[in-house]
Amino acid sequence: MQWNNSGVLIEGKPIARASDVPLAARHRVSVDYFRTAHTRLIAGRVFDQNDRRGGRRVAIVNEAFVRQLLPGESPVGRRFEHGTNGPWREIIGVVEDGKYRSLSEAPMPAVFEPMEQDYSPNNNLIARSSLPEEQVTGMLRRAVMDLDSSITLATQGSWTGQLGLALFPARIAAIVLGAFGVLAIVLAATGVYGVTAYAVARRTREIGIRMALGAKPAEVIRVVLSHTAVLVVTGGAIGVALALATGRFFGQILYGVYATDPLTYGVAISIMGSVAFAACWLPARRAIAVDPVTALRTE
C-alpha cells in the first residue's frame, strides 16, 4: 500500500481554473487490501487478478469522493484522470470512508488504484492474523528479508500499536476531561440536591395545612414533584442549549463520539433528573410523616 494527494479531473466536467481542481488521497493497494483492512464495499467490485499492468486502467473511490465530485450520479463506469497527465481510469467500485491522515480529519475523497498497474518502491505491507502481534511482525520481517535482503524496513509494528500512538493525546485529553466531568457531576448533584431539598423543606408549613385540610399523602407528594419538575425541566433546557452551543469546540478531541451525541445528553439529563427527584422526594416524605399540628407550628 502506498499513497499521496493529487488533483482529480472527472471526464465531462471541465474545470475553469487550476486552483479549482479537487484533491483526493491517492492510494496504490494490492488485490486483498480491502479484505485485510475490513473496508466495506458499497457498490461495484473490488480489484481482482485481471487488474494488472497492460490491462484496463481502473480505480475504486470512497463515499466522500462520490459526494463531492459526483453528487447525485452513479459513479461506477465514470472515468477520471490525475491532473492532466492521464491516463484515464474507470471507476469500478465504491468503498466506505476511512481515516487516511489523522483520526480527527473530516471525510475526504480517496482513490484506490491497483498496485500491479503502477508499482512504487515505497510501500506499506499490511497483514491480518489471529496470532500474537510480536510473532506476526517477526514472521513478516523474515519473509521480506528472505525475498530480498537489501530491502530497507523503515518501521514495523502492529496496527493496534500504531493506533495507540495516534490516540495517545486524545486519551490523555479524555482522561482529564473525564475527571473534570465527574467532579462537575458531583458538584452539580450536590447543588441540585441542596437547593431542591431546601425549597421543599420551606414548604413544610404548606404541607401541614394541606394535610390538615384532608389532603392525601400521594396528592401532597405529586404537588411537590410537579413544582420541582418545572425547575428541573427549565434548568435542563438551559443546560442542553449551552452544551450544544459549546460542544463544537471539543469536536477535535472527540473520536467516535459526536458533540451532539444523544446518549451523552440522555445520561446527563437522567442523572440530574434522578438527583432532583430524590432531593424533593425524601424531604416531602419526611414532611408528610410529621403530625399536621407540628407542621403548622414550623417557622
Residues 7 and 95 reside in one and the same domain: yes
**Could you tell me if residue 186 is inside a domain?**
yes
Do 199 and 99 share a structural domain? Answer: no
The verdict on residue 260 lying in a domain is: yes
Q: What is the pLDDT of residue 186?
A: 81
User: What range defines the domain where residue 52 resides?
Assistant: 2-126
Q: 131 and 119: one domain? A: no
The partner residues of 110 in beta bridges, in order of sequence, read 25
What local confidence, expressed as pLDDT, does residue 93 receive? 94
214 and 97, same structural domain?
no
131 and 251 belong to one structural domain: no
66 and 78 fall within a common domain: yes
In this predicted structure, what is the pLDDT of residue 197?
74
pTM: 0.59
- pLDDT number for residue 96: 94
Question: Tell me, what's the pLDDT at 289?
Answer: 72
Residue 18 CA: distances (Å) to CA of 14, 173, 225, 244: 10, 40, 66, 39
Does 98 lie in the same domain as 195? no
The answer to whether position 163 is within a domain reads no
Are residue 133 and residue 207 in the same domain, yes or no? no
Name the pairing type of β-strands 41-44 and 79-82: unpaired
104 and 26 inside one domain: yes
Question: Residue-wise pLDDT tens for the chain (299 aa)?
Answer: 445 667 788 888 877 566 677 888 888 888 888 988 889 999 999 998 888 888 889 999 999 999 999 998 999 999 998 866 668 899 999 999 988 777 767 788 999 988 888 777 777 777 777 888 778 878 888 887 887 777 777 777 677 777 777 677 778 877 887 888 788 878 877 877 777 777 777 777 777 777 777 778 788 778 777 777 787 788 888 888 887 777 666 655 565 566 677 887 888 888 878 877 777 777 777 767 766 666 666 55
Please report the pLDDT score of residue 263 as a whole number.
82
CB 42 within 8 Å of CB 110: no
* Same domain assignment for residues 291 and 174: yes
Burial class of residue 25 in the structure, from the number of CB atoms within 10 Å of its CB (0-12 exposed, 13-18 middle, 19+ buried):
buried
* Same domain (yes/no): 25, 45: yes
**What pLDDT score was predicted for residue 40?**
92
Cβ burial 257-287 (10 Å sphere, 16+ → b, else e):
eeeeeeebbeebbeebeebbeebbbebbeeb
> What's the pLDDT at 251?
59
Number of separate domains in the chain:
3
Q: Are residues 8 and 112 in the same domain?
A: yes
**Sign of the C-alpha dihedral computed for residues 178, 180, 184 and 187 taken in this order:** positive
208 assigned to some structural domain: yes
Residue 162 belongs to a domain: no
